[in-house]
Amino acid sequence: MATTAVTNSQAEQIYSSLNTSREKETSVINEAENRFLTLLTTQLKNQDPLNPLDNAQLTSQLAQISTVNGIEKLNATLQTLLSGMNDSQAMEAAALVNHGVLVPGATMTLGEQGGIGGFELATGTDETTVTIKDSNGLVVRTLSLGAQGAGIHPFVWDGKADSGAQAALGNYSYSISARTGTNTTTPTALAYGLVQAVTRNANGLTLDVGTLGAFTMADVKQIL
């Protein structure tokens, strides 16, 4: 199919039309569009008269700006959605302040009401055991929790030692072991703590869980 060449005179008309209709824009989208149009019209003004830009080439370049403009608008929309998601996540995180959570860890504080810990099982077990040790590494209490299903499980220690005596208040560590048939596994231990504060940094939101340290929202396995 034959094509019609775009002459220098027509290029001047296009350039003039674009200039009269174009307003100064502050957005990133319009700035990108303006830069593209400036380059295109400059190309039209300075084209070789003996080898002018034909309609097919012009259409192709105009299609490019439509693509660029569409991508910029899509990026702007995604940024808006991302900002909304971040705000929503911030509100969810703020709602956790003064609430108990289970996060990765294997320590607990024994208080007057006992101590709380947790664990995560990839599969169900026939027998699950929690071994609690004092700061010297000595076993204070062994809790037999029986069969447990897959998932996250909190547990409570009443503070009693295996001897039946009351254990001293303070910090303890624990480990989890599990058996299914003849196979033994080591489930993931989870520590309990109260969310003290929420902060936002370059990496997102951070939860201050007291002496347990700082954690992300993704680290929270369960809210108690």
For the chain, the structural domain boundaries read: 8-92, 100-223
| Residue 183, pLDDT above cutoff 80 | yes
Element spanning 82, H or E: helix 55-94
Residue 137: pLDDT band (50, 70, 90) is: very high
> Which residues sit opposite 184 in a β-bridge?
179
Average of per-residue pLDDT across 44-63: 62
pLDDT given at position 216? 87
Residue 14: pLDDT band (50, 70, 90) is: very low
Residues of the chain above pLDDT 90, percent? 48
Decide if 209 contacts 195 (C-beta within 8 A). yes
Residue found under tokens 């097919």: 56
In Å, how far from its chain's centre is CA 42? Answer: 44
pLDDT given at position 86? 58
Residue 2: pLDDT band (50, 70, 90) is: very low
Element spanning 167, H or E: none
pLDDT given at position 75? 74
pLDDT given at position 3? 41
| 32-36, 58-62, 93-97, 130-134 — most confident range | 130-134
Q: Which amino acid is at 2?
A: A
Class of domain 100-223: mainly beta
Question: Is the backbone of residue 164 left (phi > 0), alpha (psi -120 to 50) or beta?
Answer: left
Residue 161: pLDDT band (50, 70, 90) is: very high
11 exposed, middle or buried (CB, 10 Å; 0-12, 13-18, 19+)?
Answer: buried
Residue found under tokens 């108690």: 224
pLDDT given at position 81? 64
Decide if 75 contacts 167 (C-beta within 8 A). no
